[in-house]
Amino acid sequence: MLTAAVLALQLFFVGRIAAMAVLDPQSTAFERSQAWRVLNEKGRLPWRQQWVAYAQISDNLKRAVIASEDDGFSNHDGVDWDALEKAWQKNARAEAQAARAQASKKPGAAPGRGKPAVRPPKIVGGSTITQQLAKNLFLSGERTLPRKGQEFVLTLLLETFLSKQRILEIYLNNVEWGEGVFGAEAAAQHYFRKPAARLSAYEAARLAVMLPRPRYFEKLPNSSYVAGRASLIVNRMADADLP
């Protein structure tokens, strides 16, 4: 019964992804979860998003995102195996460290006294752009090994049914760039008051810097870290291969 349910779910994903070759996704699982969170917290839903075609997104932004997030994007099969191996090794070390810390706690110690509670190890991803898109489109934000396994399957499906250009187009139109700011066009208008097609190299690099923590960096747009990191990305953009 469980096997049949899992197989049915995978077939559902196959159909959804195959359709994306010609149909733009209306929303992602991540966008829906964020919309629900913002609506509950603020009682309103400030939202900026406008789909634009691949050709209407500046090559500067495409290069900046690839240079920052996944410099092998145009050449790998959806998974950066070296990065994944390093992530697995880091996860194993974290789990071993957590186990040692748990074992060192005194049996029967009262809560709040003695050594602090041992936190579960953080699962590290080593994610490519395709993996990030798989997660945003379909999955929850939890960081567990079973969820990572489903992400891996979805990544392979995306790479099988969609071109690299289409994967990057969908990613850039749906990725988060701030509270209620999704996609390249909304980000360009929100931060620079111009369309995504006209972003300069440095403006594109500043947006790329924000991707790992967009809501955090939205509050610190002129920080020295953002400026320094953006300069590094600009220097790397010439080596970024576009699909």
Contact residues for 198 (Cβ-Cβ < 8 A; gap 6+): 58, 188
Average pLDDT over residues 192-218: 96
Whether pTM > 0.85 for this model: the answer is: no
Q: Given a cut of 50, is residue 1 above it in pLDDT? A: yes
Q: Given a cut of 70, is residue 194 above it in pLDDT? A: yes
Which residue carries 């966008």 as its tokens? 31
Q: Which of 186, 178, 180, 183 is nearest to 219 (CA)?
A: 178
Q: In this predicted structure, which of 37-51, 79-93, 178-192 has the lowest mean pLDDT?
A: 79-93
Q: Given a cut of 70, is residue 237 above it in pLDDT? A: yes
Q: How high is the mean pLDDT of the chain?
A: 87
**What are the pLDDT digits (tens) for 128-180?**
999 999 999 999 777 777 778 899 999 999 999 999 999 999 999 999 999 99
CATH assignment, 25-77+163-239: 1.10.3810.10
Average pLDDT over residues 87-111: 66
pLDDT for res 42: 85
**DSSP β-bridge partners for residue 181:** 48
**What are the pLDDT digits (tens) for 100-126?**
777 776 555 544 444 445 444 444 446
Q: What tokens were used for 220?
A: 């610190």
Sequence ranges of the domains in the chain: 25-77+163-239
Evaluated on CA atoms 158, 161, 164, 169, the torsion sign reads negative
Contacts 24+ apart (CB under 8 A), 108-112: none
Please tell me the distance from the alpha carbon of residue 42 to that of residue 170, in angstroms, as a whole number.
28
Q: Name the band, by pLDDT with cuts 50, 70 and 90, for residue 45.
A: confident
Average pLDDT over residues 198-213: 96
| Residue 12 backbone phi and psi in degrees, to 5 | -60, -45
Q: Calculate the alpha carbon distances from 217 to 55, 182, 198, 224, 225 in Å.
A: 27, 14, 22, 11, 10
